Structure 1
Amino acid sequence: MTLEKKESVSRRAFLDLSLKSSLATAAFAGGFPSIVPASVFGKNAPSNRINIAAIGTGRISRGHDMPGVWKYDNALIMAVCDVDSNRANAAKQLVNEYYTKKTGKDYDGVKVYTDYRELLNNKDIDAVLVSTPDHWHAPIVINSVRAGKDVYMQKPASLTIEEGRKMADAVKKSGRIVQVGSQQRSMSQFRYAAELVRNGRIGQLKTVYVGLPGDPSGDTELEMPIPKNLNYDMWLGTTPEVYYTEKRVHPHVGFDRPGWLRCEQFGAGMITGWGSHHIDCAHWAMNTEHTGPVEIWGRADFPKSGLWNVHGIFRTEAQYANGVRMIVTNEIANGIRFEGTEGWIFVSRGDASVTTSDPIAKQNAAKALDASNPKIIQSEIGANEIHLTVSKDHHGNWLESIVSKKDPIAPAEVGHRSCTTCLLHHAAMKLQRKLFWNPEKELFINDIEANKLLSRPQRAEYAVR
C-alpha cells in the first residue's frame, strides 16, 4: 500500500471511530441512529465531518440533494462540480451563502471543479452527490467508488442494463456505501403500504398497477452555438455526438426542468424517471427486490418527429415468477395500487414533490394512502410480523450508513434491479411483443434482437469499463 493510500485509510478510520463514538450517545429511532447534532461532537472538529462534493449542480442538486445533506452538522459540502462553469460557480455561491447564514460568519470554503475526475483525486473528499443527467449516473458512480468515495446517486441507476450491472458489481467490490435516490422508501406511507402487503392485509397479492406521469413531444430544434461556459463534449459523455441546441441539454439561464429528460439518447423517459421510484417501492412490497419479471409485453406511442422522442402514452405488463402481474401505464393515477384476494391498497406521494418543476406539482394530488376498507390502513403491524427498514430522511439515512458501514435503505444492487425492470418495460415498448427474461443471468431468453438492447455503443473516452 502506498503512503498516500495509508494516509487516506488512516483518515477514514479516524473519522469512523470518532463518529461511532458520538453515535453511542445519540438517540435511536426506528432501529437507526439519529444524525449526530453539532452539540455532540463540536462544530469545529474537522475529523468528525463527512466531507462531501456535489457532482452535477442543476435543478435536482440545488433543490433537493445539496439541501438534503447540508442541513446535517456532520456533513460539509466542500466542493461542487459541473461541466457548465456557470452552474458550478452558481452552486459555489449557493453553498457559501448557506454556510454564511448558518454560521453567522462569512464563508468561502467551497472549491469549484468542471471535471469530476479531478475532483475524485482530492483525498479530503469522503463522499459525493451524483445529480447529473441519467446517462452519467453509472460511469461517475463506478469511478467514485473505485476512488474510495461513498456515493448518493440520483435514480435511475443507469442508462442501460449492462452498465447498471457493472455499477452494482463495482459498488460491491469496493465496499463503499451507495444510496440510490429512491426517496419514496423514506416516506412513511410507502413503507407502511409495503408492510401491509407483505403481511397479508389484502390477502394474496395478485396484481400491481403502477401509474406514471407523461411527457409531451416537442418541435424540431435548430442547431445553436455551444455556450463558452459548457463543455458539451463531456456533457454528452458516452453517448453519440449530436449538434447542440438548448432544449437538448438544460436552460442556459435558470434551473427549470431540462430538455434532456425527453431525449432517448440520455434516458428512457418517464418509465425510468418516475418508474424507478414506483417500481422500486412495488418490488419492496412484492419481496422481489433482488430479482425481476420473467415475461414482459406492451405497447407505446413514440413521437414521429421533433427533438423530444421519449415514449408518450403507453401500457406495459410483466409477469413475475411468484405469479404476480404488474401493469405500468400513464393512463391511470400517479401511484401504486396493490390488488389482492381480500382488497386493495393505493399509495402515492400525495401532494409532495421534490422540486417546483416536478410533474406531480402540476397534477391533482391523489391520496397518499387509501384502501378498499379503511380498516386495512388502520391496522398495526404486530411485533412478530414483517417490519421493513425505517428511514425518516433519505439523505440522513445515507449519512448514517456511512458511519455504521451498514447498507442504506436503497442500496446499489436494489436500485439496479428496479432500473432493470424499468428498462425491460422500455424494451417491450420498443419491440411491441412479448419478451422472456432470465433475472439470474440478466439476459433475454433466445432473443438476439432484445439482447441488443442491454447495452449501447459508447464513445471511447467516456466508456464504462
Structure 2
Amino acid sequence: MKKSTQSRRDFLKTGAAAGAAFLSAPMILRAETLGVNGHVGPNSRINIGFIGFGLQMQGIVGMAGSPDVQPTYVCDVKEWALKSAVEKLKSFGYSDIAATPDYEDIVNDPSVDAVVIVTPDHWHAAISLAAMRAGKDVYVEKPMTLTIEEGKAMVAAEARYGTILQVGSQQRSERSFRKAAEIVRNGWIGEIKEIYTGFGDFLPPVIEAEQPIPEGFNYDKWLGPAPWEPYFENRVMGNYGGGWRCFWEYGSRKNGDWGAHHYDIIQWALGRDDSGPVKFYPKGYEGSPYQYFEYEDGVRVVREHPDRKGHMIRFIGTEGEVMVSRGGRIDTTPADLASRPLGSSDTQLYRVNGGHLGNWLDSIKLRKKPICPATVGHRTATVCQLATICERLDRPIQWDPVSEQIVGDEDAARWQDRPRRVGYELPV
C-alpha cells in the first residue's frame, strides 16, 4: 500500500510546532495479553485506533467514554482533522493519544486491538483488510465496501482471521426496525408482495476548476485507489448532503448512502442475509417512474415510491402492512401488531443491548458474532452496488446470488470491481 509522500516523523514535527500533535504515547499493553487464548480479556480495556475524523466520526468517537475503551491513536490525512481529533479525545480525559496521517502506523502497532474506520467508502475495504490481516477487530462504516469483489475479500478475511467485524448499519440495533423485521419474518402480515422505500438523491457533482491543495492535506492518499483527479474542495468535502458522496469514484451515491441502511433492513426482514435480489431495473424501464429490484419469489422493492405513509420503509403483505422509521416509529395494519409479543414458536431476531457500538465491544470481549458482521454487510452492500450499476448503465441487470455474478452482461459484470491505482492494490 502506497505510503504518504510526507513521512510520519516530518508530519508529527510539523504538528508539534503547531502545538497540536502528540508525538509519543505511553507503552500500552495490548488487551489480548490480559485475556485468554490470545483475545481481549472480559475485564480488559480494548485499545482502539480511530481512522478518519470527518462528520460521522464525531458521534462514533463518543465510545471513548466507555470503560471498555482505551483510545490509542487517531488518524486522518488532513492535519487540521488530526488536531481536532486530539482535542476531542482530550475532552474525554485522554492527553496521550498518538496522532498519525498514515493508517499503516496503527495497523502495524501490535498494542492496538481494534480499529474504527470512518473514511470515505473507497477506503473501507483496504484498511479493513489490512487490519484483519494484522489480527485486529474492526468497526467499519456502511456501506462496508465500494465494490462487490471487495466484499467477497472482506468475507473471506473475516473467516480466515477470526475477526470481530461490525458494519455501521445501526438500524439493526434499533428496536422499531427489529420489531418490523420480526413482524414480516413471522408472517403476521401474510405474504410480502411489495416494499416501498425512499431516501432522496444527490445532485450530479459539479466539476470545478482545479484549486491548490491545502497545506497539511495528503490529497494523493485521500484519493488512494481511486483515479487521480484535480483537487477542488467540494470533491473531498464530508458533507451529508453532497461533497464526495456525489461522486461515483468514492461511493455509490444515495444507493450506497441511505440505501445501505434501508436495503439492510429489507434483507433482514425477508430473511435474505445470505442471498439477495435477482433482477434490477432502472428508473424509466418500461415506463416505470421508479428504480426497483425483485427477488426470485417476485417480491418487489421500489425506491422513492411516494406512498410510504410518511415512513422510511413500508412492507405490504397480503394480510396487512408494517411501516417503520427512525425515532422508534412503527405503524401496522392491523394496528395491534406493533405491540403483539412474540410467541414461543415465533422467530426472534438478534437483540442488542447497549447500542450498535456497544454490541461490537461486547462481541470483542466474548468473541461472539455481532449483529452486522462482514457476511451481512457484504450482501447488503451488494444490493447497493448492483442498484448503482443498473442506474449508471441505465438498463436492467440480472444477478445470481448463489454464484455472486452478474448474468448475461459482460460490460455490467466488469463493474463488480474497479481498477485501483498503482501503489494502492487491495491487501490479500
Give the TM-score of the pair, scaled to structure 2.
Answer: 0.87
Change (3 A) 1:249 1:211: same
Among residues 246, 251, 254, which one is paired with 1:270 in the alignment?
A: 254
The answer as to 2:137 corresponding to 1:150 is yes
How far the C-alpha of 1:419 sits from its partner, in A, is: 0.5
How far the C-alpha of 1:284 sits from its partner, in A, is: 0.6
Change (3 A) 1:256 1:161: closer
The range that moved more, 127-136 or 420-429, is 420-429
- CA deviation vs aligned residue, 1:381-428 (integer Å, no higher than 9, x gap): 112211001013000000000011111000011001001011111122
The range that moved more, 176-185 or 322-331, is 322-331
The range that moved more, 257-266 or 202-211, is 257-266
The CA distance in 2 between the partners of 1:299 and 1:416, in whole Å, is 24
The CA distance in 2 between the partners of 1:211 and 1:256, in whole Å, is 16
Equivalent position amino acid for 1:51 in 2: N
Change (3 A) 1:122 1:295: same
The CA distance in 1 between the partners of 2:375 and 2:52, in whole Å, is 23
Change (3 A) 1:383 1:250: same
Question: What is residue 385 of structure 1 aligned with on the other side?
Answer: 346
Among residues 286, 298, 301, which one is paired with 1:326 in the alignment?
A: 301
Q: Percent identity?
A: 37
Question: What is residue 315 of structure 2 aligned with on the other side?
Answer: 338
How far the C-alpha of 1:250 sits from its partner, in A, is: 2.0
The CA distance in 2 between the partners of 1:150 and 1:257, in whole Å, is 30
How far the C-alpha of 1:52 sits from its partner, in A, is: 0.5
Question: What is residue 227 of structure 2 aligned with on the other side?
Answer: 240
Contact 1:59 1:257 in 2 (8 A): no
How far the C-alpha of 1:296 sits from its partner, in A, is: 1.2
Equivalent position amino acid for 2:376 in 1: V
The CA distance in 1 between the partners of 2:237 and 2:40, in whole Å, is 41
How far the C-alpha of 1:109 sits from its partner, in A, is: 1.6
* SS of the residue 1:375 aligns to: helix
Among residues 77, 90, 95, which one is paired with 1:108 in the alignment?
A: 95
Q: How does 1:291-440 map to 2 (within 5 A)?
A: 291-299=275-283, 315-329=290-304, 331=306, 335-350=312-327, 368-392=329-353, 393-440=355-402
Q: How does 1:165-244 map to 2 (within 5 A)?
A: 165-244=152-231
The CA distance in 2 between the partners of 1:418 and 1:21, in whole Å, is 32
Q: How does 1:60-139 map to 2 (within 5 A)?
A: 60-62=56-58, 64-67=59-62, 69-99=63-93, 107-139=94-126
The CA distance in 1 between the partners of 2:408 and 2:204, in whole Å, is 34
Equivalent position amino acid for 1:322 in 2: D
How far the C-alpha of 1:246 sits from its partner, in A, is: 0.4
Contact 1:215 1:270 in 2 (8 A): yes
Question: What is residue 268 of structure 2 aligned with on the other side?
Answer: 284
Contact 2:30 2:111 in 1 (8 A): no
Contact 2:75 2:100 in 1 (8 A): yes
Equivalent position amino acid for 1:15 in 2: G
* SS of the residue 1:226 aligns to: coil
The CA distance in 1 between the partners of 2:401 and 2:205, in whole Å, is 36
Name stretches of at least 5 consecutive residues in structure 1 with no aligned partner.
1-7, 23-40, 42-47, 100-106, 302-312, 351-366
- CA deviation vs aligned residue, 1:293-317 (integer Å, no higher than 9, x gap): 111112279xxxxxxxxxxx97322
How far the C-alpha of 1:337 sits from its partner, in A, is: 0.9
- CA deviation vs aligned residue, 1:355-402 (integer Å, no higher than 9, x gap): xxxxxxxxxxxx821122211212111122110010130000000000
Change (3 A) 1:108 1:441: same
The range that moved more, 422-431 or 259-268, is 422-431
The CA distance in 1 between the partners of 2:232 and 2:305, in whole Å, is 28
Contact 2:189 2:319 in 1 (8 A): yes
The CA distance in 1 between the partners of 2:47 and 2:31, in whole Å, is 12
The CA distance in 2 between the partners of 1:460 and 1:133, in whole Å, is 19
The two structures, once aligned, show a CA RMSD in angstroms of 2.4
Name stretches of at least 5 consecutive residues in structure 2 with no aligned partner.
1-27
The CA distance in 1 between the partners of 2:240 and 2:185, in whole Å, is 39
How far the C-alpha of 1:330 sits from its partner, in A, is: 6.8
